[in-house]
Amino acid sequence: MDNRNMTVMEYLPDMQVIDSLIMDEVMNAYDAYDYNAYTASDVAAALSHEQISMADFAALLSPAAQPFIEQMAARAKSETYKHFGNAVGVYTPLYIANYCENHCVYCGFNCKNKIHRAVLSHEEVEAEYRSIAADGYKEILILTGESRAKSSVEYIGKSLEIASKYFSTVGIEIYPVNADEYAYFHKCGADYVSVYQETYNKTTYSEQHLSGSKRVFPYRFYAQERALIGGMRGVCFGALLGLDDFRKDAFAVGSHAVLVQKKYPHAEISFSTPRIRPFVGGDDKIPCGVNERQLLGVMLAYRLLMPFAGINISTRESANFRDGVIGMCATKISAGSQVGVGGHDGDSKSENQFELADERTLSEIDKMLRKKGMQPIFTDSSYL
Amino acid sequence: MKSDKLIIGGHEFNSRFILGSGKFSLELMNAVVNHAEVEMITVALRRANIGGENNILDYIPKGVTLIPNTSGARDHKEAVRIARLAREVGCGNFVKVEVIADSKYLMPNNYETVKATEILAKEGFIVMPYMYPDLYTARDLVSAGASAVMPLGAPIGTNKGLLTRDFISMLIEEIDLPIIVDAGIGKPSQACEAMELGASAIMANTAVATAQDVNLMASAFALAIKAGRSAYLAGLGRVLDRHAEASSPLTGFLED
């Protein structure tokens, strides 16, 4: 269905609408958040509190917090250590398809880009799994482009069933689905769901997502809740930092995660902090840059807000940055990443979705972690 | 001094220090166990990379009793499944039951814990349930067939010590099973305090794992636990006891 002329708030047919008020709460907080209103004393007060409130979080994301980055890092490190010790989760992502029905201005896989498209057959998927498992991985993140037609729910479900033969932990980063479909994916072996809102600014969201189901803002917003209703163990939140005002987006991400955790106390919460990177056909389309210092500020603020939450560190970042944040605020790191379709067992069947900055293999990541005194953890959940 | 053994499910232990394994490097395990003369180690089954590399189970030194825990279980059914899986992969009959359905505070769900304990005890497990120190729950755990009761001193990972001191004391007085203080113990002095109260053993993880010198901290805990145990056995001085006696009789005025 062509939704180019619809607003981002209009659902498409067959999209489940759940009974929840969280979006209103997050959007009200987002609209009201004026980060220039915070001063150094607000930041100092926030850092003196044992539990970081939403008001404290707002201060920690503000420009006034920049001079406090060292103190924030020290506290983040101690919180991370208290909750995770020196254990660091290690996983790898696998794209099994890259067909996409969305027209997202910033993405290399968008449907208007003339790139090679592929869907791995289940035999090819299994060959990839075998090769990944042989490297020693026990946790995999399975990704597709957002095409229900080319990578159907059944296709993904079958891929998950095969994955559970090889891995103890299976996560998915695919198009948002209804709760009963998440329940089906859970039954097939998936426990974790990542969905990124990209930006919480509805105007920017509309300008960046021109058509396709991803254009529907609230359906994407409520994906984590539907996943939890479907029985998933954990959900991951994130904005594509730099697509719009990163401070406001990070504030919305934190609010979103806090409210979901409060409503579903058992849910394991995690964050990803992707920054917009150069991509195929998009050299001049990066709206607002986020530098490393600012990115670190966001990661530290998430850690202080939710000391118990997982934070993933993307391969979009340099080896130097990843090594610096792991154990300080990040708790999970990918290795041997491929961001084209397949690629673990033979060559990738497509261009990459974005440029990788850290191409280290598992053994290199493993070595780095041990050198830092960290313990690589390959499995940290049992599928039950 | 006559022998002072800790007995859990018919098994005798000399050490009263149970070590958690989730937060420090596997390579350190052997040294820590030796330094602190540890005889029991808990391991999260979800962390066990069965058949893979860096499998934590391969790092447990010989002669140490492995106590798999059910961390990751959100209800009693999941706890039961994890315990059975642990037994299937050769972890033995001990199980520390943990049922947690709150990712923020990681507080144990006492009700689900009792249910899991009942099922597992019937299946022949030596069940050591982790719980919030509530007297009624502790009694239910006894009826359910638990082999020890593991009340929390403070929320897990907080290193806040014996915040639940008075409630743990009730369990020590009323429950005829080993009371093992688990979670929240941040310093050897707090471990010692719990042992003075009459706790049977201490379980610690974060406090040891986050020390600068893990081995030295582990042995500090071992010493503190021994000191606390000795003080308990010796009987604290009367002035410190709750049932303190006045130095001259209060009833001396009575004439017949």
Q: Which domains does chain A have, with CATH numbers?
A: 85-377 (3.20.20.70)
Model-level pTM? 0.88
The span from the CA of A59 to the CA of A300, in Å, is 12
- Residue B83 placed within a domain: yes
Q: Is residue B256 part of a domain?
A: no
Tell me if B253 is assigned to some domain.
Answer: no
For residue A166, give the chain B residue with the closest CA. B52
d(CA B230, CA B236): 10
Distance CA B7, CA B214 (A): 27
Please list every residue in chain A whose beta carbon sits closer than 8 Å to the beta carbon of residue B78: 384
Query: How open is the CA angle B193-B198-B199, to the nearest 5 degrees?
Result: 80
CATH number of the domain to which B112 belongs: 3.20.20.70
B101: nearest CA partner in chain A: A266
pLDDT per residue, tens digit, chain B (256 aa), is 568 999 999 999 999 999 988 777 777 778 788 888 889 999 888 887 777 767 777 777 888 898 999 999 999 999 999 999 999 888 889 999 999 999 999 999 999 999 999 999 999 999 999 999 999 999 999 999 999 999 999 988 788 899 999 999 999 999 999 999 998 898 999 999 999 999 999 998 888 887 888 889 999 999 999 999 999 998 876 555 555 556 677 777 787 7
d(CA B138, CA B198) in angstroms, rounded, equals 16
Question: Does the CB of A265 have a partner CB in chain B at under 8 Å?
Answer: yes
A82 in B contact zone (CB under 8 Å): yes
CA distances from A280 to A110, A243, A274, A286, B82 (A): 10, 16, 17, 12, 46
d(CA A212, CA A226): 20
Strand ranges across the sheet with B126-131: B150-151, B126-131, B94-97, B65-69, B40-44, B17-20, B201-204, B180-182
Q: What is the pLDDT of residues A85-133, one digit of tens each?
A: 889 999 999 999 988 888 888 887 787 888 888 899 999 999 999 999 9
Cα B208 to its chain centre, rounded Å, is: 14
Does the active-site annotation cover B62?
A: no
Put simply, whether A88 touches B (Cβ < 8 Å) is no
In a domain, B40, yes or no: yes
Report angle CA A96, A268, A253 to the nearest 5 degrees.
80
In a domain, B91, yes or no: yes
Q: Is residue B222 part of a domain?
A: yes
In a domain, B251, yes or no: no
The residue range of the domain holding B195 is 6-240
Domain count, chain B: 1
Q: Is residue B232 part of a domain?
A: yes
